[in-house]
């Protein structure tokens, strides 16, 4: 399948950003077709909210977007880049594995309505 021409814009809301939004647009139609944002905590960069329009999936848009966001994080001095997803999100898991991300163990405890 042909790789679409895309533009990736970053949107920063203040001079020392903690959150940077990245929007992918299709150059032919200038239509938003993907996004994510980056959360900065100290020197740790967390990728969040990744999404690609269904019509444009499996054309490496997420891969290109993540690589671009990684470079951005590196350029502003971050030393670690973390990605996260729901344990049942097989699409995201196969994407991160394909890109060479290492799987870490997570712990969770539900916040029950009548418990602590």
Q: Which residues bind ligand COA (CB under 6 A)?
A: 50-52, 57-63, 85, 89, 91-92, 94-95, 98
Q: Which of 71, 11, 80, 85 is nearest to 40 (CA)?
A: 80
- Token readout for 55 is 């019509």
Cα-Cα-Cα-Cα torsion 77, 80, 86, 92, nearest 10 degrees, comes to 80
Q: Which is nearer to ligand COA, 87 or 115 (CB)?
A: 87
State the pairing for strand pair 44-52/80-82.
parallel
- Cβ atoms 66, 47 nearer than 8 A: yes
CB of residue 30 to ligand COA, shortest distance in Å: 19
CB of residue 95 to ligand COA, shortest distance in Å: 3
Q: How many residues does the chain have?
A: 116
Q: Which is nearer to ligand COA, 38 or 62 (CB)?
A: 62
Q: Which is nearer to ligand COA, 47 or 78 (CB)?
A: 47
CB of residue 16 to ligand COA, shortest distance in Å: 26
Q: Which is nearer to ligand COA, 45 or 52 (CB)?
A: 52
């Amino acid at each position: 399948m042909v790789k679409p021409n895309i533009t990736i814009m970053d949107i920063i809301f203040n001079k020392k950003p903690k959150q940077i939004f990245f929007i992918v647009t299709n150059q032919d139609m200038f239509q938003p077709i993907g996004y994510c944002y980056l959360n900065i905590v100290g020197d740790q960069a967390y990728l969040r909210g990744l999404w690609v329009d269904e019509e444009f999936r499996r054309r490496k848009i997420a891969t290109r977007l993540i690589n671009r966001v990684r470079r951005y994080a590196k350029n502003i001095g971050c030393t670690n880049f973390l990605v996260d997803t729901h344990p049942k999100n097989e699409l995201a898991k196969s994407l991160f594995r394909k890109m060479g991300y290492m799987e870490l163990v997570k712990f969770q405890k539900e916040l029950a309505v009548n418990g602590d």
